[in-house]
Amino acid sequence: MALKDVYATSLSLLTDLYQLTMAYGYWKNGMADQEAVFHLYFRKNPFQGGYTIAAGLEHAVQYLQQLQFQEEDLAYLASLDGNGGLPLFSPEFITYLREMRFSCTVAAIPEGTAVFPGEPLLRVQGPLMQAQLIETPLLTILNFQTLVATKAARITDAAKGDQVIEFGMRRAQGIDGALSAARAAYIGGASATSNLLAGQLYNIPVKGTHAHSWVQAFATEEEAFLAYGKAFPHDSVFLVDTYDTLEGIEKAIRVAKELQPSGFVFGGIRLDSGDLTYLSKEARKMLDAAGFADTSIVASNDLDEHIITSLKQEGAKINVWGVGTKMITAFDQPALGGVYKLAALRQPNGAWEYKVKLSEQRAKTSTPGMLQVRRFHDGHVFVADMIYNELEALPEQLQVVDPLDSTRRKTIAPGTGYAELLVPIFEAGRLVYALPELPAIKARTKAQLDQLHESIRRYMNPHNYPAGLEASLHQYKTDLILKLRKE
């Protein structure tokens, strides 16, 4: 389902004011249609991790497909005044926006791909004004979903094949945060969500149990389980910690046995508090002794990848993980920090002029050119990623240079297999990419993680995956920086 099905209003004003003021400035100076290249990328893996999972491309595509200023958008822009009390934008510019149609060429890394700092997740080539206007919405879409997909991938990895359910809507950052995060969590590896609207919109499986209030609404805990079991004879998971957890498990077992002759299937119990290792071990003994060896033990209670790893190391008998706050909000890192930078500008004579943004911090200095990412592999694991400039010929001997430490280099052996990560999405405003179904994106995430060495995937002090600039691009960037610093 497309963005327009969620948001009936136009999203053309889903941007910062300065994007429109820059657009007006470009138009006033005759630069609106000058061809430009921008890249969207991030500078550091989130969660102090060794990788990131790209997500949000489908929504970015849908946004660009429907990018057109509507009459209500134009009326609002025309109503804005500057400090002098005069209209901020001229009527002629409003007319220009009315007639504007998206015509950029876009390449992007598919959703579910493992990516690394400095690699363009998305490349935009086209009229300078249009490419500038879409900066903010692309960042807000890709940054958040990439962040949550990465968190979900880490949590799912920690679960080691157990089912992970996204339970976090009530703690999400608003309606859109709940919806887009549920989608991203599924991409990262969650098997289902409790969010019904996300399930409807994105065709994600939905699952849930019941709350403590259900138990409290009945005279006894046993009555609550009995009523719920009769209502859902094939879909019952009993929340057993409203009062005393071990007694709650005993009562759940008694109810399940009472209902069993009628065809009742005891789906599981849920532990939402207390010592989850101890309680799950005791629960497993009790369930097995009662003949319910197939009944699942579901755990919730502020879980994340670190807690799940610890519980598994302690031998907890949990096989379904309901993860809420810390996944839906990417709890320990509120933002990815993606950026969108100009990298090349076509001059009137047809030649490209490369652009770089300088900074006192090396990580914040942008990379010039029309960038592509080539991923090398040996057939089983990823070997290295090389960012290079498509506008320049590659040397015979390829070498990857760490952009933050030029002494760290990796030489690529001739004949090493590779794939180009940025694929065509739009050509001159026309969609040329077939958007994959969500299960296929989720499967891609798992396949990508399977091809990363375990040292890259670990949570504490992961190894740095060799991802950097092709050596001649690194040298050109260095020379350009030195030249600009002299000027």
CATH assignment at residue 162? 3.20.20.70
Residue 357 located in a structural domain: no
CA atoms within 13 A on the CB side of 343: 29
**β-strand partners of 127:** 35
Categorize the per-residue pLDDT at 64 as very low, low, confident or very high, splitting at 50, 70 and 90: very high
Beta-strand relationship, 266-271 and 296-299: parallel
Flag whether 403 is in a domain. Answer: no
The Cα–Cα gap between 131 and 33 comes to 10
Mean pLDDT of the region 237-263: 97
118: closest CA among 393, 465, 410, 353?
465
Is residue 261 very low, low, confident or very high in pLDDT (cuts 50, 70, 90)? very high
Residue 8 has pLDDT above 70, yes or no: no
Query: Taking a C-beta distance cutoff of 8 angstroms, is the pair 374, 184 a contact?
Result: no
Place of tokens 């994007």: 19
Which helix (H) or strand (E) is 123 found in, with range? Answer: strand 122-127
Neighbours of 344 (CB within 10 A): 21
Domains contained in the chain, number? 1
Once rounded to an integer, what is the mean pLDDT over residues 373-386?
Answer: 95
Instruction: Answer whether residue 249 is part of any domain.
Output: yes
- Rounded to a whole number of angstroms, the distance between the first and last alpha carbons of the chain is 51
pLDDT class for 359, splitting at 50, 70, 90?
confident
Judge whether 205 lies within some domain.
yes
Q: Quick one: pLDDT band at residue 122, thresholds 50, 70, 90?
A: very high
Does a structural domain hold residue 278? yes
Give the residue among 389, 407, 469 at the shortest CA–CA distance from 117. Answer: 469
Q: Is the pLDDT of residue 2 over 70?
A: no
In 324-480, beta strands by DSSP E: 339-346, 352-354, 371-377, 382-389, 399-402, 405-411, 417-420, 423-427, 430-431, 467-470
With 90 as the cut, is the pLDDT of residue 30 above it? yes
Residue position matching structure tokens 């914040």? 364
Structure tokens at 265: 């299937």
Residue 242 belongs to what domain range?
149-328
d(CA 481, CA 487): 10
Whether residue 348 lies inside any domain: the answer is: no
Query: What pLDDT sits at residue 5?
Result: 67
Segment 59-76 shows an average pLDDT of 96
- Cα–Cα distance for residue pair 127/429, rounded to 1 Å: 11
User: Phi and psi dihedrals of 288, rounded to 5?
Assistant: -65, -45
* Residues 49, 330: Cα–Cα separation, whole Å: 13
Task: Please tell me whether residue 122 adopts helix, strand or coil conformation.
Answer: strand
Would residue 313 count as lying in a domain?
A: yes
**Using the 8-state DSSP alphabet, how is residue 170 labeled?**
G
Within-domain flag for 57: no
**Residue 383 half-sphere exposure toward CB, CA atoms < 13 A:** 21
